[in-house]
Amino acid sequence: MLSRLILTDFRNHAELVLAPAPGFVVLTGENGAGKTNVLEAVSLLSPGRGLRRASLSAMQRQHGPGGFGIAATLALPDGDVEIATGTLAAAPERRQLRIQGAAATANTLAEWLTVLWLTPAMDRLFVEPAGERRRFLDRLTLALVPAHAQHAARYDAAMRARTRLWRSMARRSMPRGVRR
């Protein structure tokens, strides 16, 4: 359970400290107050590019000093775990991650916290191409089986290789002088 969340220079929050109580958490406020930004910060506590898939440099606060920080305390049965992620002003596209104060990789986040979100944009899930549906199901599976990430990455690499092969075969089968 997420027992504390601290945002520093993240999106529109210069500094924000939340200590949610157990159970459901409801965020309310005016448009532009930063509710979705809080959800995006939580999404960065798991592997991946976050809720909006934005670039890391886009997450730092405008007119801030550069870089951003997200710190969280997870209340687990074996004791609290401290997780922190963010960027430095000098390297705005290089994500830093610490678990219990030690440097870690983004993939190790899956060992500590599972984050799964459903957004109104997902209403289109059933009308999107098969690739988008598969990506959504992969995210659901990752929430339950973190090791699925390795299989999903292999599948994506195989599909890219297949597409390159098809394109090269199509170019070879065209009559001379015809180009696409």
Which CATH number belongs to the domain containing residue 49 in this structure? 3.40.50.300
Please give the Cα distance from 145 to 118 (Å, whole number).
18
Amino acid, single-letter form, for residue 75: A
What is the pLDDT at residue 123?
Answer: 62
63 and 129 co-located in one domain: no
Q: Is residue 5 within 8 Å of 42, Cβ to Cβ? A: yes
What is the pLDDT at residue 162?
Answer: 93
Q: What angle do CA 42, 82, 94 make, to 5 degrees?
A: 60
Whether 76 and 109 share a structural domain = yes
User: The tokens of 46 are what?
Assistant: 């798991």
| Shared domain check, 176 and 109 | no
Please give the tally of structural domains in the chain: 2
Domain that holds residue 49: 1-114
For residue 127, what pLDDT is reported? 76
pTM value? 0.67
What was the pLDDT predicted at 178?
59
Q: Which region, left, alpha or beta, applies to residue 26 given φ > 0 means left and ψ of -120 to 50 means alpha?
A: beta
Regarding whether 2 and 91 lie in a shared domain, the answer is yes
For residues 66 and 124, state if they share a domain: no
- pLDDT, residue 180, reads 54
Give pLDDT, residue 60: 92
Residue 128 is predicted with a pLDDT of 79
Write out the two tokens for 120: 């109104």
Which residues in the chain land under pLDDT 50?
A: none
List the strands of the sheet with 79-88, edge to edge: 13-18, 2-10, 68-76, 79-88, 91-99, 102-103
What is the pLDDT, as a whole number, of residue 171?
Answer: 80
Q: Which long-range contacts (CB under 8 A, 24 or more apart) does 74-83 make?
A: 74/1, 74/2, 74/3, 74/112, 74/113, 75/1, 75/2, 75/3, 76/1, 76/112, 80/3, 81/112, 83/45, 83/109, 83/112, 83/113
Residues 172 and 139 in one domain: yes
